[in-house]
Amino acid sequence: MRQKILQIEMQIYGYDELNDADRHLMDEAIRATERSYVPYSHFRVGAAARLANQAIVSGSNQENAAYPSGTCAERTTLFYANSQYPDQAVETLAIAARNERGAWLELPISPCGTCRQVMIETEKRFGKPMRILLYGTKGVYELNRATDLLPLSFDAEAMK
């Protein structure tokens, strides 16, 4: 038997400690929550991506009466970014969420498994780490790369 320990590193910042570019990106994610379509969950999520060419693209969760047909803010944003700028790596993805009462969460929401898989694909596609910033009123979590959010993830290499 062999044991392997997988570890990830993350940094926790106060919102005011973010540099200007990251604070601006987070503000875009926060603003994007206002454009979510959430008649079922009333849970507003916004995301904003800064690309290698410094363009910023944002998106929000979009729900549907047939629940699985809706999509999360992270996927809305990444698919939009990749369709508008197919040759631009995503440098940083910021995510923010408000609960049913419209209150910002103290602890950041953690992206769902499907979004993590999509984040990893974006990261691998461009061969560059994609930083993730998760907003919480008690601290902003910074992950250094999307793959850190999904250890031992499915990899297309396995199909070869």
Our finding on whether 80 is near ligand THU (CB under 6 A) is: no
User: Based on CB atoms, which residue is closest to ligand THU, 17 or 100?
Assistant: 100
Strand partners, 96: 46
By C-beta, is 67 or 127 nearer to ligand THU?
A: 67
Phi, psi of 70 (to 5 degrees): -75, 175
Q: Does the protein bind ligand THU through residue 112 (CB under 6 A)?
A: yes
Active site residue 74: yes
> What's the min distance (Å) between Cβ of 92 and ligand THU?
16
What stretches of 65-114 adopt beta strand conformation (E)? 90-98
Count Cβ atoms below 10 Å from residue 112 Cβ, excluding itself: 13
H or E, element range at 131: strand 131-134
Interface residue with ligand THU among 29, 49, 73, 90 (CB under 6 A) is 73
Q: Does 63 bind ligand THU (CB under 6 A)?
A: yes
Closest CB to ligand THU among residues 3, 67: 67
| CA 92/CA 150 separation, integer angstroms | 17
CA 155 to chain centre: 19
Residue tagged active-site, from 9, 34, 63, 74: 74
Residue 123 contacts ligand THU per CB under 6 A: no
Question: Which residues are the active-site residues?
Answer: 74
